[in-house]
Amino acid sequence: MKTHDVFNTVPPLWDYDAFGGDDALRDALEREGGGGFRDAVAAFGRRTGSAALIEHGRLANEHPPVVRIFDRGGRRINAVEFHPSYHALMKTSLEAGLAGGPWTDARPGALVARVAKNHLMAQVEAGHGCPVTMTFAAVPALRHSPDLAAAFEPKITAAAYDGRNVPHTEKAALTVGMAMTEKQGGSDVRANTTRATADGEGFRLSGHKWFCSAPMCDLFLTLAYDDAGLSCFLVPRWQPDGTPNPMNVQRLKDKVGNRSNASSEIEYHGAWAQRVGEPGRGVRTIIDMVAHTRLDCINGSAALIRHGVAQAVHHAQHRSAFKKRLIEHPLMQNVLADLALESEAALALAMRMARAYEDGRADEEAAALARIGTAIGKYWVCKRTPAAVYEAMECHGGNGYVEEHPMARLYREAPLNSIWEGSGNVICLDVLRAMAREPATLPALTAELNAARGIDRRYDTWVDTTLGALDDVQTLELRARRVVERLALALQASILLRGEKSVVGEAFVAARLGAGHLNFGTLGPDIDREALIARADPHRASAAA
């Protein structure tokens, strides 16, 4: 017997143009020098909005990896098995140059375009981005040892994917993981106890790692103590003689989110390794990798916010309540516009830092800005993501609070980047350390903020107050979170005020620097809510066509 008709429900958000429907991304790509790659990014955006790729993202999370420590004969194999959809995602990302593109393409804007593509792919599925990011970020660390870079970089940067568990000598493309922290130290890596003992031209490692990211990778960067101090080492999954390297997986982590990605605990039982960089300067060597992974933390968090906003706008366009579509209700418009504003600011900071990294290869001031700006952005954008994603979930009502809906996966993923590669306090202290020990960082940041002076009086006052607060060094550590928050808001405002769309910069200053509160949905009546929502409308491209 039929009990009711099904109506007023929302279709899935798929088969849409993820780049064409994102004004903020298109504008940022041009603004930060990636316009020469527009066609390639646009094509990738159409692919990442496809139902087929989105379905791979769902399946990769519903079928998480499984560790096979032993084969059926009892031999240790340390294998991790993945659903085919995970491999499809890895293949898509690596063939699109998300690991190697900026290192093999010398054209200006290559890194900015890579970040734009990664922004699109992270909206499809964030977990597989961990090994993609580490493979991308390993290159500058390996370059501390030119011989190792020459040996491995061509395969690390190859636009290809090979997920087989075979020696790296049999592959044309390699992925790189990382194993730094130990259970007794966490972020305090100098508390590590893993030891490295010389063995011919290499070393043998003994110890444990509490977090080994992506244990199915071909190579790993890790930290261990040798006679010179804490050094960086490159550990292959297979030894030179073709036998498995004894870096034994103990278990996979059962994480809140990031389900498609394998994070593990491992033990080194005399694992063969090669030292990277100067002896005893392991932190200095691996920090180049960490810096680039932090850039992806900002961008990945911005992508989660963007996906949440796209889902919320899509829902509000299709769902009706109280005789009107949700998007026609002024209060819902306020929430959506505020979320769209947060999304634009997060992306703007990520893309600006991408250009600073690229320019920093030849310009010291740009490199200094990348150094401090990435730490500032890592703290603030990642910290804002759980709140923004939750608010986007609330726009769906109960329909968004079920595991069948993509908002559930977004919500579980949202806190990760704030914890990975340095949690909030660690990052805030890093900002203070950079200003105190690296003399070029604060002048570079100040120059970036001063570039927007004279556009809005409220902004000028905010910058004056924020920079003035740095003078009280006695209480600076105690106030570090508030100081970094204010610097982040100033940096975002500076970028948006100088952008193409004055409505965005003006709205940001009014809502974030002048309102005195940061709760979503509290924009003032003078802000053009419809314009902000239109810029975030995922269907904008198809409507224009």
**pLDDT for res 501:** 77
Cβ atoms of 279 and 228 within 8 Å: the answer is yes
Instruction: State the DSSP string of 54-95.
Output: HHHHHHHHHS--EEEEE-TTS-EEEEEE--HHHHHHHHHHHH
Per-residue model confidence (pLDDT) at position 360: 95
Tell me the C-alpha distance between 178 and 438, whole Å: 26
Q: Assign residue 255 a region: left if phi > 0, alpha if psi is -120 to 50, beta otherwise?
A: beta
Q: How far apart are CA 327 and CA 320, in angstroms?
A: 8
Task: Tell me what pLDDT residue 488 has.
Answer: 98
CB neighbourhood size of 489 (10 A): 21
Locate the DSSP E strands across 155-290: 176-179, 195-199, 202-213, 219-226, 229-236, 247-252, 263-276
Q: Are 220 and 286 in contact (CB under 8 A)?
A: no
pLDDT of residue 242: 93
Query: Do residues 302 and 499 make contact, with C-beta atoms less than 8 angstroms apart?
Result: no
Q: Are 421 and 430 in contact (CB under 8 A)?
A: no
Integer CA distances (angstroms), 474 to 243, 318, 433, in order: 56, 54, 14
3-state secondary structure of 186: coil
Q: What is the pTM of this model?
A: 0.97
What stretches in the chain show pLDDT beneath 50?
A: 545
Q: Are strands 76-81 and 176-179 parallel, antiparallel or unpaired?
A: unpaired
Tell me what pLDDT residue 228 has. 96
* pLDDT for residue 517: 65
Structural domains present in the chain:
23-280 (2.40.110.20), 284-538 (1.20.140.10)
Residue among 289, 316, 260 at smallest CA distance from 122: 260
Beta bridge pairs of residue 221: 178, 234
Using an 8 Å Cβ cutoff, are 267 and 316 in contact?
no
How far is 501 from 30, CA to CA, in rounded Å?
13
Question: Crossing angle, helix 110-124 and helix 51-62, to 10 degrees?
Answer: 60
Nearest in space to 91 (alpha carbons), one of 61, 60, 46, 65: 60
- Measured between alpha carbons, how far is 134 from 140 in angstroms, rounded to an integer? 11
Q: How far apart are CA 39 and CA 37, in angstroms?
A: 6
